[in-house]
Amino acid sequence: MSDQTNILRLVADRLRVARRVVVVTGAGVSAESGLRTFRGATAADMPKDMQALWREFDPMKLATPEAFDANPEMVTRWYDWRRLGCLAAEPNPGHTALAAMERHIASRGGDFALFTQNVDRLHHRAGSQRVFELHGSIIEWRCVQTGETFEPEPTPFERFPPPSPFHPGALLRPNVVWFGEALPESVLLAAFDLAPKADLFFTIGTSSVVYPAAGFVEMAAREGAFTVEVNKDDTAATTRVDAVLRGPSGEILPRLIELAFEV
Ligand code: BJW
C-alpha cells in the first residue's frame, strides 16, 4: 500500500469519529470547475487564459479599494467578467464530497463548519449548508453609498461602472473583500470561535498565504486539533499540518468520504 493510501486511511479513521470538523477552502477547490486560482504553480506552456490570475493581472490594480477608487470602470469590468465565469461554472466532485462530509457529520449529531475564501458560491450550489464566506461573494454586488446588496441578472452589466439601483449617482462594487479591507465581522467571529474547538481541521486548495484565513490552522492545532492539508502542491501550511494529502481535491475528497463512511 502506498504512503498516500495509508495517510488517506488514517485521515478517514479520524473523520469517522470526529465530533467537530472545521474546513477552510481556497481557489484550488474550484480549479476543477474551470475557475482560475490566484497563485500556485502553473505550467510555463499553459495558455495565458488558464494561468493563475495574479500571473496575468496585478492584484494592486484590481483587488484593493484604492484600485476601485482610481479606476472603477476597469475594476468592475474585470469583476463582471469573473462573475459571469463563476455563474457558468458547475460544482465539481470536491465540492460535492464536502457537502456529503457535512451531511455525515451532522447525521450523527456532530458539528461541521466550512469557511471558504472563495467568492464563487459553488459550495452552496453543491449542497453545503453551513458555509461562511470569508471574502464575500462575487455573485452579489453592493451599493457603495448605502451598503445594500443584491444579485444582478446573470448577464453582463450594460454600463461600466454599473450605477447603483439604490441611490442616484452612486456606484456598485462586487461584495468581495479586497486587500486591506476587513472581513465580515460575524464570519470572523465564527472562525475564532469554531477553529479552536475543532478536533479535525482541513485546509483544502489554498496557498495559505492570505491572512487572517491562513492563521486558522494554527488556532486549531494549538488547541489540539488533528490538522490535514489537501492540495496539489506544497504550501505555506504544509510543514505545519499533521497529515498531507497530495493531489487534486476533486479526486482526494470523494475517496476520503468513501473510505470514512463506506459509501
Ligand atoms: C489545488 C488544485 C486542485 C490548485 N486541488 N489544490 C498578517 C500577516 C501578513 C499580512 C497580513 C496579515 N493580516 C492581514 C494581512 C494583509 C493581507 C494579507 O494577507 N496579505 C498577504 C498576501 C501577505 N490581508 C488582508 O488584507 C485581509 N484583510 C485584513 O486582514 O484586514 C484587516 C483589517 C481589519 C480592520 C479594518 C481594516 C482591515 C483581506 C484579504 C482579502 C483577500 N482578497 C482576495 C480577493 C477576493 C476577491 C476576488 O476574488 O477577487 O481573496 S485575494 C485572493 O487570495 C482571494 C483569495 O480568497 C485569497 C486566497 O487565495 P487562495 O484561495 O489560497 O488561492 P491561491 O490561488 O493562492 O492558491 C490556490 C491553491 O490551490 C494553491 O496552493 C494550489 O496548489 C492549489 N490547487 N488546483 C487542490 N485541483
Q: Which tens digit of pLDDT belongs to each residue from 124-143? A: 999 999 999 999 999 999 99
Reported CATH class of domain 3-35+91-135+182-261 = alpha beta
Cα separation values, 193 from 7, 22, 29, 147, Å: 28, 11, 24, 27
Residue 216's pLDDT is what?
Answer: 98
Q: Could you report the per-residue pLDDT of 202-261, keeping only the tens digit for each?
A: 999 999 999 999 999 999 999 999 999 999 999 999 999 999 999 999 999 999 999 999
Phi, psi (degrees; rounded to nearest 5) at 172: -105, 150
- Residues 95 and 114 sit within 8 Å (Cβ to Cβ): no
The pLDDT of 172-192, averaged and rounded, is 98
Distance 262 CA to ligand 1 centre (A): 34
Active-site pick, 104, 123, 124, 135: 135
Q: How far apart, in whole angstroms, are the C-alpha atoms of residue 92 and residue 31? A: 9
Distance 209 CA to ligand 1 centre (A): 6
- Residues 216 and 240 sit within 8 Å (Cβ to Cβ): no
Residues of the chain with CATH 3.40.50.1220: 3-35+91-135+182-261
How does DSSP assign 184-225, residue by residue? Answer: PHHHHHHHHHHGGG-SEEEEES--S-STTGGGHHHHHHHTT-
Nearest CA owner, ligand 1 atom 35: 182
Q: Could you report the per-residue pLDDT of 35-92, keeping only the tens digit for each?
A: 999 998 666 667 777 899 999 999 999 999 999 999 999 999 999 999 999 999 999 9
Q: How far apart, in whole angstroms, are the C-alpha atoms of residue 33 and residue 90? A: 6
- Residues 28 and 40 sit within 8 Å (Cβ to Cβ): yes
Q: How far apart, in whole angstroms, are the C-alpha atoms of residue 173 and residue 240? A: 36
Select from 3.30.499.10, 1.10.10.10, 3.30.2310.20, 3.30.1600.10 the CATH code of 36-88+141-176.
3.30.1600.10
Contacts of 140 (CB under 8 A, 6+ apart): 149, 150, 151, 174, 175
- Closest listed residue to residue 87, CA positions, set 151, 23, 17, 178: 151
Q: How many other CB atoms are found less than 10 A from the CB of residue 124?
A: 18
Q: Which atom of ligand 1 is least distant from the CA of 138?
A: 49
By most ligand atoms within 8 Å of CB, the mutation choice from 175, 211, 244, 249 for ligand 1 is 211
Secondary structure of residue 163 in the 3-state scheme: strand
Residue 48's pLDDT is what?
Answer: 75
Residues of the chain with CATH 3.30.1600.10: 36-88+141-176
Q: How far apart, in whole angstroms, are the C-alpha atoms of residue 121 and residue 141? A: 13
Active site residue 135: yes
User: Which amino acid belongs to residue 173?
Assistant: R
C-alpha cell at 157: 452589466
The pLDDT of 141-154, averaged and rounded, is 98
Pocket lined around ligand 1, Cβ cut-off 6 Å:
26-28, 31-32, 37-40, 52, 63, 117, 119, 135, 138, 176-182, 205-207, 209-212, 231-233, 235, 248-250
The enclosing H or E element of 95 equals: helix 93-107
State yes or no: pLDDT of 1 exceeds 80.
no
- Residues 136 and 119 sit within 8 Å (Cβ to Cβ): yes
Secondary structure of residue 153 in the 3-state scheme: coil
For residue 263, the cross-strand partners are none
